[in-house]
């Protein structure tokens, strides 16, 4: 907490009473949305954090952790939740999960709804800069950002180095003698997808190769659709980097249906290493981000903050960066 900043300072900056400021910061319902926004904005600018002892008197321990994810569908998020749940149970905690549907406002609403019901928050918001998001979340809760760009904010976070992983994926395809390497991108507004696209483009630049980027949305259907576009071309690529494993799976299915040999005609690599990739036909090469461990380690980090008993710890902890590991399987192994 910034030296000397009190709830009274926040109330004055927001132009409200101390009681209204307290209700807004503690996520209570009996305050208008307009007042809440003003109070949280003022608290963020002043770097205000409630005093731990005062908060402990007002709020009892629930032994429950709030988890806010951009989606809860698919193997990637199932693995994240599984990692969180395993670590939570080991610490005698339960989890409350909500999906934000990729909408920052929905993530903020979910966080505020959880205030008073949970002891801390795990938030994955790859569609928003963590600095913008954190200023709108309840200030009385310890917070850990997962994935996305949490490392850009002054918040504890566990983030994946998406850029270096994508760069390594392209270098691997080049080592397999691929020279026409296409990329199925993630959603344009997704910051992790942007980093993977940047790594792909720089990986091609290193060898003076031309890019071909196809739109995607991280679903298997998007991978399948992208392949239909490639099949309609006069010349197919000989390498394909999908921004996640689900799109790589959809692309693999589309290519096999068309009689394209993998990896002889086209080598394929994905990103994340969700469990199903090792059982695909052929098994899919990928960048292992340790999805389960991201969930587990994030929960463990949050547990430490909760035990310290002060949300102030959430404004000083350093980020943990996960370096993806190249996993080569039959979908790209030519030599």
What CATH number is given to the structural domain containing 31?
Answer: 1.10.260.40
- At residue 325, the 3 state secondary structure works out as strand
Residue 23 has pLDDT above 60, yes or no: yes
Q: Write the DSSP assignment of 106-173 as a string of letters.
A: HHHHHHHHHBTTBSEEEE--TTS-HHHHHTTS-TTS-EEEESTTGGGSSS-EEEE-HHHHHHHHHHHH
Give the whole-angstrom CA distance, residue 284 versus residue 329: 6
Are 178 and 153 found together in one domain?
no
Q: For tokens 């008197």, what's the residue?
A: 57
Per-residue pLDDT, 167: 98
> Which pTM value belongs to this model?
0.79
Rg of the Cα trace of the chain? Answer: 22
Are 123 and 169 found together in one domain?
no
Give the whole-angstrom CA distance, residue 282 versus residue 265: 13
235, part of any domain? yes
Are 309 and 286 found together in one domain?
no
Are 144 and 157 contacting, i.e. CB atoms less than 8 angstroms apart?
yes
**Tens digit of pLDDT for each residue in 73-97?**
888 899 999 999 999 999 899 999 9
Are 89 and 238 found together in one domain?
no
Are 183 and 145 found together in one domain?
no
- Number of structural domains (the chain) is 3
Are 197 and 166 contacting, i.e. CB atoms less than 8 angstroms apart?
yes
316, part of any domain? yes
Are 205 and 306 found together in one domain?
no
1, part of any domain? no
Name the nearest CA neighbour of 311 among 137, 109, 91: 137
Q: For tokens 């992208």, what's the residue?
A: 226
276, part of any domain? yes
Q: Phi, psi at residue 152, to the nearest 5°?
A: -85, -15
Are 199 and 279 found together in one domain?
yes
57, part of any domain? no
Are 271 and 245 contacting, i.e. CB atoms less than 8 angstroms apart?
yes
Are 85 and 127 found together in one domain?
yes
| Contacts of range 172-175, beta carbons closer than 8 Å, 24 or more positions apart | 172/269, 172/285, 172/326, 172/328, 172/332, 173/239, 173/241, 173/267, 173/269, 173/332, 174/203, 174/207, 174/209, 174/239
State the CATH number of the domain containing residue 268: 3.40.50.2300
56, part of any domain? no
Are 175 and 144 found together in one domain?
no
Per-residue pLDDT, 113: 82
2, part of any domain? no
Are 181 and 247 found together in one domain?
yes
> What is the domain range of residue 204?
162-290+326-332
Q: Give the mean model confidence (pLDDT) for residues 277-283.
A: 95
More confident residue, 128 or 198: 198
Are 199 and 241 found together in one domain?
yes
More confident residue, 171 or 128: 171
**What number of other Cβ atoms are within 10 A of residue 278's Cβ?**
12
Q: Phi, psi at residue 214, to the nearest 5°?
A: -110, 140
pLDDT category of residue 138 using cuts at 50, 70 and 90 = low
109, part of any domain? yes
Provide the Cα torsion 221, 203, 292, 251; round to 10°: 20
Are 111 and 202 found together in one domain?
no
């Amino acid at each position: 907490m910034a030296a000397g900043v009190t709830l009274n300072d926040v109330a004055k900056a927001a132009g409200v009473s101390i009681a209204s400021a307290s209700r807004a910061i503690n996520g209570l319902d009996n305050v208008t949305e307009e007042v809440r926004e003003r109070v949280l904005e003022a608290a963020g600018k002043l770097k205000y954090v409630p005093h731990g002892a005062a908060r402990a008197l007002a709020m009892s321990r629930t032994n429950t952790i709030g988890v806010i994810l951009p989606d809860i569908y698919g193997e990637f998020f199932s693995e994240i939740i599984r990692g969180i749940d395993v670590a939570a149970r080991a610490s005698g905690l339960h989890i409350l999960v909500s999906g934000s549907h990729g909408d920052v406002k929905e993530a903020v609403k979910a966080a505020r709804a959880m205030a008073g019901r949970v002891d801390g928050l795990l938030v994955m918001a790859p569609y928003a800069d963590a600095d913008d998001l954190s200023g709108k979340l309840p200030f009385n809760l310890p917070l850990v950002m997962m994935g996305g760009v949490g490392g850009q904010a002054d918040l504890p976070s566990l983030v994946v180095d998406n850029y270096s992983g994508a760069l390594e994926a392209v270098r691997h395809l080049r080592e397999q003698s691929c020279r026409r390497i296409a990329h199925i991108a993630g959603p344009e507004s997704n910051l992790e997808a942007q980093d993977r696209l940047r790594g792909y483009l720089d990986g091609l630049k290193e060898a003076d190769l031309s890019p071909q980027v196809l739109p995607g949305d991280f679903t298997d259907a998007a991978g399948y659709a992208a392949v239909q576009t490639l099949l309609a071309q006069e010349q197919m690529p000989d390498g394909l980097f999908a921004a996640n494993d689900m799109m790589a799976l959809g692309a693999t299915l589309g290519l096999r249906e068309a009689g394209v040999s993998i990896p002889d005609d086209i080598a394929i690599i994905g990103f994340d290493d969700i469990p199903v990739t090792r059982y695909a036909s052929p098994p899919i090469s990928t960048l292992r981000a340790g999805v389960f461990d991201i969930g587990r380690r994030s929960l463990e980090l949050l547990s430490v903050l909760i035990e310290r008993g002060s949300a102030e710890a959430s404004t000083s902890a350093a980020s943990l960066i996960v370096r993806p590991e190249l996993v080569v399987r039959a979908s790209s192994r030519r030599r």
